Structure 1
């Protein structure tokens, strides 16, 4: 008979590995002023000893899945991530799995015509009632503009007004909205500026909701891939969609916009962006929130518009996304009792991790929010900036 003792070489080795991972994780977190015993609001509270190993082996994928499992917590998850990213701790954890993810993104077109619909089915089609409880009255699922705003409704209306002014909209003009969502921009522009709009989306839920919501406005909502649009418009807008296009499709996207924009028209591109051209998509976000997402850098957008558009203006208000995400999280948590039975505790932790980790990333200035104003030939006399 052979008895496996707790003090066997295998178990001793495992225990030593766990202790080593714990020490290393503590050293990394200390660089950001974060502890592991829940003393400060942004500290981790470890409930399972495997968490450090999972995080070091899998990066944010392991950390996020451990959080979803309830294996650790933090009172201020948003500030945990803000401090972590500001201190550059995430850059010091580079497991081999990330290398495979980077190579896959570089070699494969993860946002081709077939795969482009996945994000609509997985994320945007969760249920309109769910998003209604989290967003503003127009269902604007992008960064608000908080310059003169004191609440989410004001910030989102200010953002829509800002875009309309940047486009210099005039009554009777026809506008294309690439990735129109639930029609927030289109409805605002039609009601306040007297324009007609065509919007394309890859979410059936969004398309059906918008059609039912705005039957009396001059708006056309299409369940359509942006690559299939082939007609001209006075202006084009794209708000929070370019993040799904993918680096291998950036040029094709801009060629589509160039083809569809009249010679004297303007194109406002509103997109989240990254600071480093060669960085890759966060694996946890890719798996659980936005499949096949790919944030662009300024250089990648510059490459994509080269010879097609003149960059008239570039406006960064990424810090405003922190406030927007925190407002969404407050609404989500307040409404959660209505969805708890349907979606379950694991979804709650997943969604909270998504909103608060992203808020922390914007607070740390690790990611940005840009509005580009583009023209085909340059605005005669120059473009006067709107803010």
Structure 2
């Protein structure tokens, strides 16, 4: 016994770490980590089995809810739809897959519409009135949900850029027809004529949904206008009865882009050229501006709006030389008179320092072009498009 106690004492003393950097330290650290990892693992396993039990209970409740209580029920239509979609994955031909998937939609849509009429839907020991929950302010929303599903089915094959627009335009009238159908079905079922009070409600229902379609169409129309004519967003639309700007940040007119590019082209054509060539260019300002406009339009992004912009120029009299370039908007505007933007450029002559004075009798004069920023839009049209040259350009 004494030998055993002595052995245990020596073993314990040998396991006491003499320093931090010893094998005993790493041994006890390993024991400590193993203990807590094992404890955490056991707790995790226990929690896992508890979660399995709760998941199993959830699946039992879902299975009870989705099991058809009778053959003619919305659960039956839902399961047939799921089965059809599963079967659509088996055929190798695409048209067969599409046909079976479409049949699945034919079961899914009435199944969901039927489900939305449930008044005593039981799930997890709760009884829910789905129909009452979908009624807001006396308006039953189920027909519009069903209409959205029908539009998704009908227009899913269209190109992506057209799908959303056509589906939204068709959704209100299709939903109105679905909402109106019960008024024409009597007990039997058989056709019945709605009473006068119901007819008035049907007319209001149809017209209000057609108005909603018109608003959708107006939205898509204005969006297409802004794509083709981006400068329209710079117009003052504060007096409009149907267009509201939600963003107050100022938007740059396309005329600014045209004038900035015109400045680049003008410098390419005149900057650094001899003064006599520049004066000859200014004497033929009207055809030169037309050529400059053609070059500018090829350098900016092509949109339909480009054809509604014109580029004009004039040289102010008794200046050497101040040239004004104007981007004139000839399209629709808020006040009907149009507008124009202006950029002023100073064309001055300076000595040509690139040439040696020894090689020339007199220093050669060349042109330098500097331009100011584009001015704010001015309502109306410019009074003169280049007729003020006789006094401004000297031969």
TM-score by length of 2: 0.21
TM-score by length of 1: 0.21
Higher RCO (Cα < 8 Å, 6 or more apart): 1
Structure (1 or 2) with the larger CA radius of gyration: 2
Higher helix fraction: Structure 1 or Structure 2? Answer: 2
